[in-house]
Structures are given as structure tokens and as C-alpha cells.
Structure 1
Amino acid sequence: MNKSILIVEDEKILRISLTDALREEGYTVFAATNGREALVAIEQGIFSVIITDIRLPDISGMEILRKSMEIAAAVPVVMMTGYGNIKDAVESMRIGAFDYITKPFDLEEMFVTVSKALEVNAITEENIRLKKELSSQFSAGKIIGESKAMQSVFALLDKVSRTESTVLLLGESGTGKELVASTIHYQSARKKKAIIRVNCAALPDDLIESELFGYEKGAFTGADGKKPGRFDMADGGTLFLDEIGDLPPLTQTKILRFLEEKTFERLGSTSTVSVDVRIIAATNKNLEREVSKGMFREDLYYRLNVIPVILPPLRKRIEDIPLLLDSFTRKFNDQFGTNVVFGADAVTELSKYGFPGNVRELLNIVERCIALASNKIIGRNDLPVHILQNKREKVPLLSLQQVSVEAEKNHILKILSMTQGNRSKAAEILGVSRKTLWEKINNYNLNV
């Protein structure tokens, strides 16, 4: 992470003190004594954060803010101001400043503010990198595929990208849901703004709310300063909520409120925040089943499911394997400085494989084969052992009677979930006596 900071402060003692303190924290610091020096530095240097006084002897901090937004729009700007100039500081936030801090300030407060600004800068830079990677990897911003299944997806994406509607991406792990979300964003009118990604399954329940909505200073122990959330960062752009089926109930409620009202409240605040954000959500779970089990809000499901996009697994589009293989081979040849290809026997073997890990698994296989290649042609015997054993997706061999039993078990569980475990009500819906329902629950060893 680039940790270079520009400080613009005409007061010598404060400028030196702040520079020394930040350097001791491991930051690279450039200090400017006036606005003109600062503008030259901004044009010539690469900074992760700019900290500027609002009152300067030549050019105001407001002007530096405006110029930096033109020259280096991704760089967060923190404004320093005296108590008498709070109004100007608030105005700077409206224009686009990341935050402001009032003099005299505690150094720890400044360190927290800088740390949060660096987080924002890192996310913004990652979005820029991903955007470049997306355009270089995919022709016309589209995912690779010529199969009928993918052509149907492409046609839907073209329509979806022109709307502002909420999108729900459904499909197995590794089918490219994050890439599809990026494609929708970069083909939409929001493409000049950020797409912010959140993996809901990767964040602990006690952190996800503060990550999404941000918090105010003092909202909880350790909240030493104000922190913007992912909704703030995505303002004007897109928020991609991956693995949304793993959201805890309270956060589901707050997401629902945002979808209905386009507003939210930060932790520790009673003020309502309004942002312009498009939601794209994704999951590999069956949300209808999660709703029936009481694990996912039904009203939120319908709010998210405005335009569902179902991504087919790779085994349902095997004619795309050679195209993907060619693209991934070129990618890793460029990365490793090699010039190897997959032989016809290897391509044939890969086309027979079931790919439970989908496109991501194919990508990893290609990387492994090229990294370990001892010849210019990767043959059948160079493939991983499990590919040669042709471990396709296993279809359970059940008799019609067994299928009937499984269907009955699942239906009983669904009705019991719907009635919140009320067996009398469930028996009434199922058209059996309570005693018969009790016997079936015991015979099937149902965990209810």
C-alpha cells in the first residue's frame, strides 16, 4: 500500500511536529509551506492522502481541494481548521473532502483519520486496477463464452446494464458472479464512479454493520474517530454484496430499509444519511429455501430479486472450455514469461471433466499446469490426477421410492419451518393427524 502523505501547513511548528509524528508512524511525508508548493507537488507526486490547512497565505485549502479533485480525484483530502472556521470545513465536506479535523487536535485523532483515509484510497485504487484488468481481459467488457447458455446471459446483461434496477446474481461458487457484477457496473451510466465490493461471508457479524454503514466517533469501544462505510464509498456508483445469503438478521433489516428509502444511519448517530447507490447482490445459496427456513427475510428477498441473473455452471457450457483455456493460457504465459500451449489430448480430457469449482477451478488448473510445465506442450498426463480420474458430478442413484421419501421429508421440514415448529398447525396444513406427523418426524429422524 502506498503510504505517502502531503501536508500543507504554513505554521512552521505545527508543520514540523505533524511531519515528524507521521514519519515515526512509518509514513512517507512531503510538507508544503503554502498552496502553490502544494499544487506543484500534487501535479508531480503520487500521494495516498492530502492534509491541508483551510487558511493559507496564498491559495486557500478549498482551492487545493478543488484542484486535487481535478488532478488526483482518488486521493482523500483531510482539512485542518480552527474552531472559528467550522462552517468552511463543513462546506469542504460538501465539495468532496474526506474529513476535517479541528485545531488543536490530538495526534492519535489525526492518526486514526489518516488510517481511515488510506483505507478509502486503497479501495479506490483497487477499483481502478480491476477496471483496467477487466477491460484488458474481456472483449467489449463481456465475459468469455459462445455457448447458448452464455449468449442468453450476455443478452440479459446488456439490458440490465442500461437500468438502475437491483440485480441478484445466482449461481454456484466459481461461476464468475463478481466479474458479472463488474461488467454490469462498467457498462452502466455509473461506470465513472466506484464499484465497492463486500464479501458478506468474510466479515464477522459484529463488524459487518459498521463496515457497511460506517460509524461515528464513540459509537463503540475503539471507535476513536468517524469512519465512512461502504455505502458512503459507493455513492454515485455500485455496491456489490457478495454472499448476501450470509447476512445476519439485523443487517438484513437495514439493507431492506436502504432499498426501500435509499437512506441509512451510521452506528452511533441518529442522523439519516442519503446516498445514490445501486445494489448488485450475489449468492450461491437457494434464497427461497433460506426464506422457508426462516434464515433470510422474505421481503428482502423480493426486493433483491428484481432482476435475477442465473449463471450456468461450467459443466453446462463445455463448448466454452477451449475459449476459456486459450484466454487463461495467454494470461499466465504473459505472467510467467513462458510460451506453452495445451495439447489436443489435454483439451479433450478437460472437456470431459465436471468442474465442480467451475471457471475458477479451470483458472487454477491452467496456472498450475503452466507454472510446472517442463515442455512447451501440456499433454494429458500433465494434468492433475483428479482430472484424469474424471470425477464428474455424482448423481445419486435413488429409486423412485427413495425420491418420494426425500420429497416428503423436505416438504414436512418446509411446512414446520413456515409454522415456526407448531406441529398442530403443520399437521392441519399437511392433511394428517398430529400423531401421524409425529411418527413421520421420528421415522425420518428429522431435526426440528
Structure 2
Amino acid sequence: MMYHGKILCVDDDTNVLSALRRTLEVAGFEVVTASSGKDALTILEKEICDVAILDYMMTEMNGIELIKKIKENCYEVEPLIVTGYSDISLVVEAIKEGAFDYILKPYNEELLISTINKVLKYKRLLYENRILQNQLSEKHKFENLIGSSPEMKRIFSIIEKVKDSNNNVLIHGESGTGKEQIAKAIHYSGNRKDELFIPVDCTAINPNVIESELFGHVKGAFTGAHQTKEGLLKSAGKGTIFLDEIAEIHPNIQAKLLRAIQEMVIKPVGSNKIEKIEARILAATNKDIYEAIEKGEFRKDLFYRLNVVSIKVPPLREHKEDISLLVDHFIKKYGTDEKEIKGITPEAMNVIMAYHWPGNIRQLENCIERAFVLGTGEHIDVKDLPEEITSKKIEKKSGINTLREIEREHIIKTILHFKGNKKRAAETLGIKRSTLYHRIKEYNIDI
């Protein structure tokens, strides 16, 4: 298997450097060259290289001395020492100082490329292992999905059925309902748990580069493509790629994504070569996907491909019986030796239960985290809760709402009705969008 990477070649013989460059570029590598150890260090200070091929016999600074400098400066490049001598003691010294392997002159092109690929494979495995360790340390399994309501039990049942399959899953739900946690539960409880889980926030990627991010690109494919880059669909390997807010992807990219899902192949930007992919695809959206299809914003055929299994996540206001379990979970999560909170007062819990939670579980978690930061007692009390939550209690006490309270509630209901679309909410309310944002700020609406 060929791995792409940037190779730094260091030799004080310009003819050798030219020959090396030709060989490696034909093999598909990006190559930079340096005619001395000093020049090599200057390059490594500015650029990230994957492999450094270092000639041992150089004036001023030999290959082993250069390896020492590389290690002292903690450059993330793996050195290969090149020598025309079959001196085992020299090879041992080079490897002792940090060389990954050695190459004998004259070069055997096949062996040279094979050795470079071995280094790149090692670096990729090291990178994947770091990602896996970070992900596994977060313990994203069923224990991070909290609930005993019928709605949550239904979701647990679906996860159990699909976790070991290769079927695509589309998760529907408002922002903050825990769609990514469900995707992680599917991945980490299934037979792909030892592979990569790569989340992709489709709203956070510049629309101009999302094709490159998903499918990759080859060097020179567009301005700024200085080196070949592997796409996320390929990088996921046999793991899972989670496309969050997939309805935000441009229709042109949707067509290419459809082909990738149907045929399990991709074509990087600027390339004529087809590459096979093996990742499982999970996706999520907070939009009314049927409405998006009717408007021509989302492809119907892509929807059918993604929606093999559908999981509808209810908003928190529709399974309030899970709130006490979630509060206990977040209290345990944020508790530390320096700041321990034993629980929550009945009064505070009553206020929390009465609130409608437009931001769902994410907003509830932020509320509990805020109480840890600002609270002073052993129990979370009403005074430790945000004003937008405690204001609901004031309404119930007074019996009659003020005009400001009525306007605030009406704005919240209108925004929720349009699933967070503030442009449509403003049009319905008969006000400018700038006025709506002013009211949201004025009334401290967290939605």
C-alpha cells in the first residue's frame, strides 16, 4: 500500500539529491531537499516533514549529528540514515540516536520506497492510536446516554440492534438533544469500537473546502494545495464517520456523497483515480429533512441512502422524567476534590422541572456546570440557576404576566416552531431580523 507524505532529502551531493527527488516524486511523494544539516534544520523549523533521508558522510554536520539535533528540537520527522558503508557499528549508533532505519548506497529504488512506506505506516498507526486513546478515555459508550423514559428505552433498543451492522443511520433531533452521543454509543458498543470514530461538523467547515475535507485532494488540485491530502472518508479506515448537520451540505457535494455511499468509493479533488472506502457512515440533522427535500435543499435519493435506520431523538421537554437522572449525572461529572456538590434542593429541582429547555440536554448541562462555578453551598439552590430559568418561577407566582414576559414567551415559541430558523421567526413576528436578535439579547433568551 502506498502512503502519501512529505520527504526531506539531505545530502551535500547535488546530483544525488536530484536523482532522489526524481525517484520519490515519480512514486507520488512530495519532496524537499537540503544540501547541508544546517539547511535541513532551517526547513524543519518552518515545515512539517514526515521522513528525513540523511546522508551520513556530509561535511560540517554528518547524518548522526543531524539526527541528534532533530531529536533535541523535537521535530516530528522520522530519520532514515544513508551510508555507503556496511559498518554495523555505525548503523547501531544511528538507530541508538533515533534513526528509524538505515539505507545502503547505491540506492535500490524498490527497497527505498518500501522503507519510506514502512515509516509512513508507522506514523499513521501512531497517530490513529493517539486518537483512539483520547476517544476511549472519554468512555463514550452507553453510560453517557442517560434516561429511563420510554423514549430513551426505544433509542437504546435501536442502538443494540444496529451497533454491529454496516447499515447507515440517520439521527433526527433538535440541537442539544445528544445526537452525537447516540452516534458514539453505536460506534463504541459495536464491532468497530477499536477503529476510529471521526465526527465532522458540516456547519463548521467552509463550504469551499468541504469537498476536499471529505474526499481529499492531490497536490496542485487548487490554489493552496501544496501537498496531497487524504480525505476524512478515507482516513476513517474501517471505523465510523459521523456527519453532523448533514442537511447543511451543498447539493453539489450531496451528489458526490451519494456516490460514495452507494459504491463505497471516492475520487479525490484533482485526481482521476478511484479509491475504496470502508467506513460506516452515521449522519444527523436538526432540520425538518422532509421540508428540506420539498424545497430542493436536500437530495431525496441521498436521504433514502442515509435513512436506512432512523433514530428520532425527542426534545428534553418531551421526556422530563429523565431530568433528575441527568442532573445527578452532571453533578457527578463536574464534581472534583476541590468543588464537591452533594445534590440539588427540592426548590431548585422544581424550577428545573418547570422549565421548557429549548436548548435541551446541552442547556441543562451548562446550567449545572454554571452552578458549580458560581454556587457556594453543598447543594444547588434556586439562586445558583440562570435567570432565564428562574424567571419561569416568577411567572407562576404572579399569575399575571407582564407585557415583556408575554413578548419573551411568544418569541421563544415562534423560534421553536421554526426549529431555530430566526429569519422565518422574524418574518412571522413582523419584525426585522436585527430587531429579533436585539430582543433575544435583551430578554436573555438562550435558544
TM-score by length of 2: 0.67
Aligned partner letter, 1:53: L
Deviations 1:384-409 (A, max 9, x none): 1111222889668xxxxxxxxxxxxx
Decide whether the 8 Å contact of 1:329 with 1:341 is kept in 2: yes
255, 279, 288: which one aligns with 1:277: 279
The residue correspondences of 1:243-392 to structure 2 (distance < 5 A) are 243-334=245-336, 337-390=339-392
Once residues 103 and 258 of structure 2 are traced to their aligned partners in structure 1, the CA distance between those partners, rounded to angstroms, is 37
138, 149, 162: which one aligns with 1:133: 138
Question: Which residue of 1 is the match for residue 79 of structure 2?
Answer: 52
The residue correspondences of 1:89-238 to structure 2 (distance < 5 A) are 91=114, 97=120, 125-135=130-140, 140-141=142-143, 143-238=145-240
- Percent of residue pairs bearing the same amino acid type: 33
Unpaired runs of at least 5, structure 2: 1-6, 13-34, 57-63, 393-407, 415-447
Once residues 316 and 131 of structure 1 are traced to their aligned partners in structure 2, the CA distance between those partners, rounded to angstroms, is 31
Aligned partner letter, 1:384: P
**SS of residue paired to 2:223:** coil
Q: How far apart are residue 131 of structure 1 and its match?
A: 2.4
Q: Which stretch shifts more, 272-281 or 17-26? A: 17-26
Once residues 96 and 310 of structure 1 are traced to their aligned partners in structure 2, the CA distance between those partners, rounded to angstroms, is 45
Is residue 2:43 matched to residue 1:21?
yes
Once residues 226 and 176 of structure 1 are traced to their aligned partners in structure 2, the CA distance between those partners, rounded to angstroms, is 35
Aligned partner letter, 1:133: E
Deviations 1:111-132 (A, max 9, x none): xxxxxx89x9878745532321
Once residues 204 and 79 of structure 1 are traced to their aligned partners in structure 2, the CA distance between those partners, rounded to angstroms, is 42
Instruction: Rate the CA distance shift 1:313–1:379 in 2: closer, same or farther, 3 A.
Output: same
**SS of residue paired to 1:155:** helix
Once residues 297 and 109 of structure 2 are traced to their aligned partners in structure 1, the CA distance between those partners, rounded to angstroms, is 46
Deviations 1:47-74 (A, max 9, x none): 88442338576699xxx9xxx9xxxxxx
Aligned partner letter, 2:271: S
Name the count of aligned residue pairs: 350
Q: How far apart are residue 93 of structure 1 and its match?
A: 7.6
Deviations 1:23-63 (A, max 9, x none): 46699x999999xx9xxx9xx99x88442338576699xxx
Once residues 78 and 370 of structure 1 are traced to their aligned partners in structure 2, the CA distance between those partners, rounded to angstroms, is 52
Once residues 102 and 308 of structure 2 are traced to their aligned partners in structure 1, the CA distance between those partners, rounded to angstroms, is 41
Q: Which stretch shifts more, 255-264 or 188-197? A: 188-197
Deviations 1:413-433 (A, max 9, x none): xxxxxxxxxxxxxxxxxxxxx
Aligned partner letter, 1:238: T
Once residues 334 and 31 of structure 1 are traced to their aligned partners in structure 2, the CA distance between those partners, rounded to angstroms, is 49
Decide whether the 8 Å contact of 1:8 with 1:33 is kept in 2: no
Instruction: Rate the CA distance shift 1:144–1:303 in 2: closer, same or farther, 3 A.
Output: same
Aligned partner letter, 1:97: L
Q: Which stretch shifts more, 86-95 or 290-299? A: 86-95
Question: Which residue of 2 is the match for residue 443 of structure 1?
Answer: none
Question: Which residue of 2 is the match for residue 446 of structure 1?
Answer: none
Instruction: Rate the CA distance shift 1:151–1:90 in 2: closer, same or farther, 3 A.
Output: farther
Decide whether the 8 Å contact of 2:245 with 2:283 is kept in 1: yes
Once residues 225 and 14 of structure 1 are traced to their aligned partners in structure 2, the CA distance between those partners, rounded to angstroms, is 24
